Every structure is written in structure tokens, then in C-alpha cells.
Amino acid sequence: ALLLAYVPRLPDADRRGGLRVANGSPRVAGGTRRRLNVFAVTQIAASFVLVAGAALLVKTFLALQAASPGFDTSRVLAVNVPVTSFGRTPAQTRDFYRRVQEQVGQLPGVDHAAIGSAVPWRDGGQFERGGFRFQIEGATTSDGNDPRAKMRSISPGYFAALGVPLVDGRDFTADDRDGAERVVIITESLARALFPGREVVNRQLTWTDPVMRFVGMSREPRRIVGVVKDIDDEHLIPGPVMTVYHPFEQQVAGGRVFVHTRANPYALVPQITQIVRTAAVDQPIERAATLDDIRAEVLTPDRLNAAVFGLFALVAVAIAVIGVAGVLAFTVSGRTREFGIRLALGALPQTLLRGVVASGAAIAGTGIVVGVAVGAAGARLAASYVERVQWPGIGIVVAASATLLLAGVVASLVPALRAARTNVVEALRAE
């Protein structure tokens, strides 16, 4: 608003070096023309940054939306049933979730029901930052330090509910209870990182992180009984994850019910609520949603950013077109005498038309070059404050440049046609 309000100071007939009128014919001084050209170039440069940024955000949003998470999301319902230890013993808490899982799994249309500690994207990353340190017998690390991994608690059937296959070993069973042998399942990326080309099942894993003593986690060894495909429950575009899964009966945490169904998932919410209320009347039940809808909710800020920047880009292009057209129209009106003399001396109207269009293209081209330089400088500045800032690809830069160059040419057509239709007699008579 400040730029549009104060920068474009139009020529003043009373100000030296501005608009001069000779015998009723307006003329534009060279300094004024240069200032107007600079302003038009500034508009084009700002528009380029917005158009390129909007295109990058739209491209990023489409990539996020199209990325496959690696597990089923459309038919999986997640319901928060938080762990409430007040008034319950650990055995009663385990019995409560066991009964809820069994009864929900018996509902019509339900293929699998399971308990987990984290809902993908909603809870992922809230419990630990960078993971916890651990050791596995026979593991080799590049830096000699204990590796880190995230920790999740799940019940038998969790991987089946999300449609994630086991790579090696077995899933948890009802026998993996409190008091039985402590076991874990690890992700494929963790196994590959520590045991490339070697067997990892049946090795012993021990948590060594000092934090474990404060969260009540036992530091006794746990036998690895399986390897599962990676489940990235934090990022919309999945990447390699280092995660260790504990049996829910041995490490109660979180309290999330996952239901894989053939029917409408939301139609099961009243029945699940009734089952939970029957098992414990004071048990809270929260935020029932399919993983598809949770993912869409997480994508909402990206969708909003893409829409807002897209709107700003359209407004910027409109302002740039108006600016270029205004500068050229004003310049053409001040060169009426020149065009009349050139036509009288034999110049072709097409020559004048090409000249004015070339001026518009030159303004647009200069603005694009300035916009590229400003955008690159801005990206480098942002990279010092924000992680993983990337300059848009060559396709986005070319598309934004072509859009603004075309806008500059289109904006120059009207004043160009006016110049080509200059009446020689009237132009000379004005002198």
C-alpha cells in the first residue's frame, strides 16, 4: 500500500523535469520516463517473486497431497481413549484396553481393532525429540555413540489395522504380556542401518538413555522378535524412520484405538463410545477421525498458504500489467509529435507497433531479472533462519518468467496500437 501510494509520483506540469506542454501537445522529459520505467520494473520484479513463490507453494501442496504415507488411511478410524491411571492399578488399565480392543473387533464390518500410543501426524513427534538412546548387541555405529530411536507402544493387530507388512520375524501376540519375556519390534530402516545384510531378529535391545529412569521405563534387555516396514507417523512425505515398538501390555502409553473397517468408519463411533462407557463410565473419548481426515487437517495450513499466495500472485500480475500499460500509454501520449514526424518521413505503422511492444517486453524482462536476483537473495537470507529452504525449480522460474513477459507484451499492445494509428496531419498540426 505504501509503495502504490507514495512511490509513483506522476509528472507535474509545474515541476521542472516533468511533463511539458508545447502548443497543446504533451511531452515527457527523459528523467520522468526513466522514473516511470523504474517503477514498472519494480512492479514486475515484485510480481515475479510472488508468482514464483505461489507456484512453489502450489507445487509443494500437490506433492504433499499426492504422497503415499505407506499405510492405509481411508478406512482406518482413530479414537483417542487417553490412559487414566487415577483410581486404577496398572493391571486394571491393561484389562480395560484389552476388553475395549476385543469388543470393538467384534463389531460388524470391523476387520481389525488395535491399541496404539500415537495417532499418525496428530501425535507423532510430540513425545520425544530425536528419540532415545539404545544399544543392540552386535550393532556397529559410524560415530561410536549409541544410536537413537523413537518409541511406540502397540497391541497385537496394530500393523494389520494399518495395512503394514512385517519384513521379518513375527507380530506381537496375546502372550506378550506383563511378566512375560520383554520383546520389541523394530523398523526396517533401523535394522538396515545397524545390521546391513545381517540378521537382527532375536538380538537383545537395551535402552541406555538417562531419560528412561524418569519415565518409568525398565532398562532390562528386550528381545527383537520382528522387523516391520517403516511407519512415518510425523511427516506427510514419509522418510526413513528409526522406531522401536513395545507390546502395549508391557508398556502402556498413549491410549489410541485404531479400527480398520469395511463400512463407514464414522458410523462406528457411537458403538465404540458405548463399549468404552460400559467398560469405564468416566473414561474420556476424544477426536474420532479417519486417518484420511487427520491428514487433510494437517494439510490445511499448506492449502491456505497456497490459496492466499496464489491470490496475491494474481493481484500482483494485474498490478504489473496495469503499471506497464500505464507507463507505456503515458510515454506514447508524450511522443505523439515524434511518431507523426516518423510516419511523415516514411516509417511504417508496424515499425512503431513493434517498437512500443519491444519497450514493454524490455521492461518486463528487466523486472524478471531483478526479481530473480531479489528472490535468490531472499532465499539465502531465509536459509539462515529457516531449515531446508529451497529455490524453486527451473520449471517454476521459466513458467513465472513467461507469464510476466506475456503480461508485459499484452499490456503494451493497447498503447502500441494507439501509436501505430497516429494521425500524421493532426500530430503535425498540433505543432
Q: Any idea which of 201-205, 264-268, 335-339 has the lowest mean pLDDT?
A: 335-339
Q: How far apart, in whole angstroms, are the C-alpha atoms of residue 261 and residue 259?
A: 6
Residue pLDDT, tens place only, 183-217: 999 999 999 888 888 888 999 998 888 877 776 67
pTM above 0.85, yes or no: no
Q: How far apart, in whole angstroms, are the C-alpha atoms of residue 74 and residue 44?
A: 44
Average per-residue pLDDT in the chain?
Answer: 79
Tell which residue, 51, 10, 29, has the closest CA to residue 320.
Answer: 51
Are the C-beta atoms of 134 and 149 separated by less than 8 Å? Answer: yes
- For 170, phi and psi rounded to 5 degrees? -130, 165
Are the C-beta atoms of 241 and 192 separated by less than 8 Å? Answer: no
For residue 25, the model assigns a pLDDT of: 46
- 269 burial (CB, 10 Å; 0-12 / 13-18 / 19+) is middle
Q: How far apart, in whole angstroms, are the C-alpha atoms of residue 204 and residue 188?
A: 16
Sign of the Cα torsion 252, 114, 228, 291 reads: negative
The residue that leads in pLDDT, 205 or 29, is 205
| Portion of the chain with pLDDT greater than 90, in percent | 13
For residue 23, the model assigns a pLDDT of: 43
Q: Is pLDDT above 60 for 362? A: yes
Q: How far apart, in whole angstroms, are the C-alpha atoms of residue 114 and residue 247?
A: 11
For residue 257, the model assigns a pLDDT of: 92
Tell which residue, 215, 200, 136, has the closest CA to residue 167.
Answer: 200
Classify strands 256-261 and 222-228 as parallel, antiparallel or unpaired: unpaired
Mean pLDDT across the stretch 53-80?
Answer: 81
In the numeric block, the cell 476385543 is attached to 102
Mean pLDDT across the stretch 260-273?
Answer: 90
For residue 431, the model assigns a pLDDT of: 55
Q: Any idea which of 158-167, 203-212, 282-291, 417-426 has the lowest mean pLDDT?
A: 417-426
Radius of gyration of the chain from its Cα atoms, rounded to whole angstroms: 34
Mean pLDDT across the stretch 269-282?
Answer: 88
For residue 24, the model assigns a pLDDT of: 45
Range with top average pLDDT, 57-61, 346-350, 367-371:
367-371
Mean pLDDT across the stretch 300-317?
Answer: 82
- B/e letters for 32-58, b = 16+ CB within 10 Å, e = fewer, are bbebbbebbbbbbbbbbbbbbbbbbbb
For residue 386, the model assigns a pLDDT of: 54
For residue 282, the model assigns a pLDDT of: 81
Cα separation of the two ends of the chain: 40
Residue pLDDT, tens place only, 383-429: 666 555 556 678 778 887 888 888 778 877 777 777 777 666 665 66
Range with top average pLDDT, 21-30, 44-53, 176-185:
176-185
What pLDDT band is residue 20 in, cutting at 50, 70 and 90?
very low
CA 409 from centroid of its chain's CA atoms:
34
Which residues face 286 on adjacent strands?
A: 80
The residue that leads in pLDDT, 381 or 194, is 194
3-state secondary structure of 190: helix
Number of Cβ atoms within 10 Å of the Cβ of 147: 19
3-state secondary structure of 153: strand
Q: How far apart, in whole angstroms, are the C-alpha atoms of residue 168 and residue 161?
A: 18
Mean pLDDT across the stretch 229-240?
Answer: 84
Q: Is pLDDT above 60 for 109? A: yes
For residue 187, the model assigns a pLDDT of: 93
Enclosing H/E stretch for 388: none
What pLDDT band is residue 220 in, cutting at 50, 70 and 90?
confident
In the numeric block, the cell 499466495 is attached to 309
Q: Is pLDDT above 80 for 224? A: yes
Mean pLDDT across the stretch 38-67?
Answer: 79
For residue 125, the model assigns a pLDDT of: 60
Q: Is pLDDT above 80 for 34? A: no
> Identity (one letter) of the amino acid at 224?
I
Tell which residue, 312, 317, 371, 347, has the closest CA to residue 427.
Answer: 347
| Portion of the chain with pLDDT greater than 70, in percent | 82
| Residue 129: DSSP 8-state | S
- For 126, phi and psi rounded to 5 degrees? -85, -20
Q: How far apart, in whole angstroms, are the C-alpha atoms of residue 388 and residue 330?
A: 45
Q: How far apart, in whole angstroms, are the C-alpha atoms of residue 194 and residue 200?
A: 9
> Identity (one letter) of the amino acid at 110?
V
Mean pLDDT across the stretch 100-106?
Answer: 90
| Residue 267: DSSP 8-state | G
What pLDDT band is residue 246 in, cutting at 50, 70 and 90?
very high
Mean pLDDT across the stretch 159-166?
Answer: 90
Q: Any idea which of 111-125, 157-171, 407-421 has the lowest mean pLDDT?
A: 407-421
- Helix 394-420, helix 291-334: angle, nearest 10: 30
